[in-house]
Each structure stands twice: as C-alpha cells, then as structure tokens.
Amino acid sequence: MSSKYNISLVTGDGIGPEISESALSILEVINDNFSLSLEIKKLEAGDTVLKNTGKALPDETFETIKNSDACLKAPVGESAKDVIVYLRRMLDLYANIRPARSYPNMPALRDDVDLVIVRENTEDLYTGEEFDIGDAAVAMRIISEKASKRIANYAFTIAKNRERSIQRKVTCVHKSNVMKKTDGLFARTCSKVANDFSDIKFEEMYVDACSMNLIRQPQEFDVIVTTNLFGDILSDEAAQVIGGLGMAPAANIGDDFGLFEPVHGAAFDIAGKQIANPTSFILSISMMLEWLGRKHNDANCITAGTSIENAVWEVCLANIKTKDTGGDKTTMEFTKEIISRL
C-alpha cells in the first residue's frame, strides 16, 4: 500500500515555473517507483501574485501550505520577505538546513567538501524591527536563549546522525568579541548544549575567520551552527565553493512542518530560456522525502530521497550539465537524465 502525503508546491517567479516542472517530473517518477502517493497542489506566491492581487502570499495559499504534509517552494523575486520570511516565522520553521557537497565535474574549489550549515531561522536582524531616530536608521537584533538552544540541539543531532561525516564536529560561528550581548548569549548557549553531546567535537570561530576558512580549507568543516544573518551569507559562500547556487538545496524545519527550497533566487535574466540548472530544487525534494521518512518512519520515503541524491551524483559523474553551468542540456533534458537513473 502506498504512503500518501499532501505536498504544496509554490511555483514562484522567474525560473521558478521551469524548475517546478522539473520537480513535478521527478515527483511523478517517485510515485511510480517507490510505493508513494505524493499528491501535489500547485500554488502561487511572489511578485506576479503581488502585482495581480496586492498580496504576495494570498491567504488561501498560506492555508493550503499550513494544512499540507510538507511544502516545496520555488524561488520568488523581490517579495521574498513577504513570502518565505513570513512562512518561516508564522510556521516557526526555526532550523534552516543548507548542505554543501562537492559533486563530480562541477567547478568546486575541492572535491572533498561535505558540510552542513545550520542557521537559526526566526530571529536576528531578520525580524525586520527597524525604525528611524532623527537622521539615523536603527535595526533591532534579537537573540534569545530559547532559539539559540534549540538550533544548537538541532545542529548537534545532525552531526551525530550524519552517515557521511568522518569528523563528528560542530563549529559555532559568531562575533561575540564585538557583539558581546547578543552573540555572547548565542555562543554561551551553544557551548552549554555541547556538554550534552560529549561524542561530538565542538569549536567556536568568529564569522570573519569562518568566511576565510570556507575558501581556504572548506574540507575541515562538518556542521556549522550560526545565527540568521551570518548563516544566510555563509551558506551562499559555501554554495559557491561547491560549484554555485544551482547545486545548493535548503530545508526550513520546525517541530511539525518542513518547507524545502533552492538557495538561489528567481534568476529573471535567464527565465523562460530553459537553461537553468534544476539541481538545487531536485536535491530539495530529496531532503523533503528524507525528512518525511524520518518523521513518519517511512522507509520508502527515505529510500526515494537517497535515490534522488545518488541519481544527481551519477549525472554529474557523467559530466552532464545544463547550459548555465557550461553544458549543453536544457532544464528538462537534464531532468530526464536524472529520471533515467531513478
């Protein structure tokens, strides 16, 4: 009997609809081959919807997402704050998980990078608390012990369970030598949590040193845990280290819900040309299936997620690429190469 899940798919802006079609093709094959029944509900959110309706995230879209088992979200444009930031906060998706792995034949700095950035997803400067004082503008940076503790626990749990990891290490990244109150609290909280995971190595690093070492020796990192703004910046840097944003998936995880999306933006400059690399969205599907599998103790989901990642690896190993990464395949031609390996 097939395991049934309701999946929301936000098709987004720019290249969003193109890579969403790629995602739908992958999901169709997963249904046919892995004893799963993924019922997909296509939804609209982003710049186009904002222009047409005056609201980037319509109420009915939000309600459908909230009542689904998981959500896949293609990139949106300038309205991202009103879509993804709102969803993260309203659904309390406190853990932003962004893996960065070297794939064969991609322009990576090294071929042995395999790290995960675990980013606190609800606080920091991204709460949007800004105001004017005279001729100055002030932004409120909020760091709480509660949020710091739960993201640290999440990071250590990932480090403990990562099958490919040989280091079993968590690096806490902050800037407590300057921001003694906020980053000081984050660093102290992570250090306390580390005491509960004695089998995991723990280290601290200032964010500027981390950004340098992601270029100099990225293979030395295993799991990085950090605050919202730092995590946003470092994860984009890590993506470039392993070959570009098109190779970078992401998960937004809460206690009861998960939203999965590519790290990159809507890439309006190549929209409609069928040359965009859909790998980041396809790997986001892999992350979604593995998360559903763990949550529901569903081996078919886990197997399907792993199979997608393996298929991407095989396609890269064969040096098959889309046109925007130096290859000759269209978005759907590349997708069919992955499908043939599923």
What is the CATH superfamily name and number for domain 109-241?
Isopropylmalate Dehydrogenase (3.40.718.10)
Q: Is the pTM of this model over 0.85?
A: yes
Label residues 300-324 b or e (16+ Cβ within 10 Å = b): bbbbbbebbbebbebbbeeebbbbb
What does the DSSP assignment read for 132-167? EETTEEEE--B--HHHHHHHHHHHHHHHHH-SS-SS
Q: What span, in angstroms and rounded, lies between the C-alpha atoms of 233 and 172?
A: 15
- The active-site residue, picked from 236, 295, 324, 336, is 236
Contacts 24+ apart (CB under 8 A), 155-161: 155/118, 155/190, 155/223, 155/224, 155/225, 156/193, 156/194, 156/196, 156/197, 156/200, 156/223, 158/97, 158/116, 158/118, 158/223, 159/197, 159/200, 159/222, 159/223, 160/197, 160/199, 160/200
Active site residue 126: yes
- The reported pLDDT for the residue numbered 127 is 87
- The active-site residue, picked from 5, 94, 103, 126, is 126
Spans of all domains in the chain:
1-95+245-342, 109-241
- The active-site residue, picked from 13, 124, 232, 298, is 232
Cβ-proximal residues to 342 (8 Å cutoff; 6+ apart), any chain: 26, 29, 30, 33, 307, 308, 311
- The active-site residue, picked from 111, 196, 208, 328, is 208
Active site residue 175: yes
- CATH no., domain 1-95+245-342: 3.40.718.10
- Assess contact for 217 and 248: CB atoms under 8 A: no
Active site residue 236: yes
Do 1-95+245-342 and 109-241 fold alike per CATH? yes
- The active-site residue, picked from 175, 321, 323, 329, is 175
Active site residue 114: no
pLDDT along the chain (342 residues), means of 10: 89 96 97 94 95 94 97 95 92 97 90 96 92 96 98 97 85 98 98 96 98 96 98 96 93 97 92 94 98 96 97 97 90 97 94
Q: What span, in angstroms and rounded, lies between the C-alpha atoms of 300 and 31?
A: 10
Handedness of CA 34, 312, 98, 29 (dihedral sign): negative
- The reported pLDDT for the residue numbered 1 is 63
- The reported pLDDT for the residue numbered 145 is 98
Q: What span, in angstroms and rounded, lies between the C-alpha atoms of 81 and 130?
A: 14
